[in-house]
Structure 1
Amino acid sequence: MTSKHKEITEWYKRAREDILDSMDEELEMELDDDRLSPDGSGSAMSRQLYFKELFRLQGELVKLQDWVVEKKLKVAVLFEGRDSAGKGGAIKRITQRLNPRVCKVVALPAPNDREKTQWYFQRYISQLPAGGEIVLFDRSWYNRAGVERVMGFCTDYEYEEFLRTVPDLERMMISSGVILIKYWFSISDDEQYSRFMVRIHDPLKQWKLSPMDLEARRLWEAYTKAKETMLERTHIPEAPWWVVAANDKKKARLNCITHLLDQIPYKDIDHPMVTLPARVHNPDYLRGPVPPQMYVPEVY
């Protein structure tokens, strides 16, 4: 075997290891999700089918990303739903293989004192995508129709004003070229209870439960009423709501990604062949030694 063949063989070996490592990353997240599930799976779908479809869909997301960049599209996707509905897990799988400079996640904290004096939508508007960007909102301006309404963080007037004006605002976004897609992740009362119990008993997930989450659990019916009102008054032809059945996390992710891909017609973008340039070798260059104490201990 020539040295060139050996180099190519080694390259393929390294490429295969990199692909397997990428798959391991997803497997790690799945095992973390399912750690305390009674049947060890957390889903009626087999892992093999799930991984096969997820990797296929993530490949399509990369194509969509290239199309968005090429055509300078502006894509905003809203993810709403109850606590533990699986919004974050779906967002992770969407962004996992994408360029973070193109596909960004926005998860704004509670407004500070200055932001409370601003126009309610102001801090969200500044996060909208520019041309060639995808922005995923992990909760959005619809906080006002949900948590703020139920917890009393806004007045009745502010709440009604929000429901009255948000359809017009979204129509303005769309008129300006923003592709706006809104998802509601829907889970049952029993399923939320089960997921909360998992978090309570899992030391790696207890941080996900805040006092606000526990209060939201107590006020399940109030949240249901607020959700129904929100969907009724803000489901408009230009920006409809799409409900994701989310009791099964794996199916919810695959269904959401499939639907998202269907919302934006895209095609493969031809990329020029990439050729690595020959590295410059300077005979006068001597690489300096790295002191041993600077290295991270190789525990593994």
Structure 2
Amino acid sequence: MSVPLLEFHQVGFRYPNTTTPVLQDCSFTLEAGQKVALLGLNGSGKSTLFYLAAALYRRDRGEIYWQGQRLVHQPERLRQWRQRIGLAFQDPEQQLVAATVAEDISYGLYNLDLPTAEIEARLYQTLQDFDLVELADRPLHHLSLGQKRRVALAGVMALAPTLLLLDEPTTYLDSQQRQQLGRVLEKIHQQGTTIVIATHDLDFAYGWADWIMILANGHVVVSDRASHVFGQWPTLAAELGTPTLLALWQQFPASWRQHRPFPRTVADCSQELIALFQSLLQNGPP
């Protein structure tokens, strides 16, 4: 049996000068290779969970493990831990520290004390992977928000983390930028990186994730395959709203939906709609 990538065991955390914990008895297991959407209402603690997972915050109680090894807040152990876990903040401005695109992506690589040749090779490959070659020498303050998000993500991925955490990556992105983000994440995942996104964008989570975690009242209340969670959505997470395609699918006749997987893309939904119309024309109502 494989060892989980990341584990939280009854983790608790409270911000200084507050009385109510943000997380309490928070437990979950993350397996390697997953594409996870972390869902929850505002204030549920999604960002805090990420900061704890990346060892930027120190838990008040409980334990956190990486592949069976307990998180210890000692300088060398923390350095190793943070090399494995990459975190892209909700606001890319918090993550961009240099003057140009190339300088920003290189910043973290120089902090790893890598040989110059390896830094240059990683930089070039990252610029290619994220379609940033033409922007390499562009000042960061000349970039659009979508471009800044791409640069921030590129800077994280240049460090080759095993686990990537993305905090609200679709915020303020238009439809084209969201599609581009989806393609970038798919490429990152295919290269072997496990990805967790914290998001309020149910439509993005619905079409992208293969695992769903829901955070409420300071702990993870749902952690299961996306196919099961969305199949039971009205009883599990109605307070979060409903993804658009899932809401449309729920309008199909129950007898039609009973033994068919729910559509995850517009193309899938269109095919189901055509098939239903053809069935109605040939056989009458199901």
Fold match (TM-score > 0.5): no
Higher relative contact order (CA 8 A, sep 6+): 1
More helix per residue? 1
- TM-score, length-normalised on structure 1? 0.35
More strand per residue? 2
- TM-score, length-normalised on structure 2? 0.36
Higher-Rg structure is 1
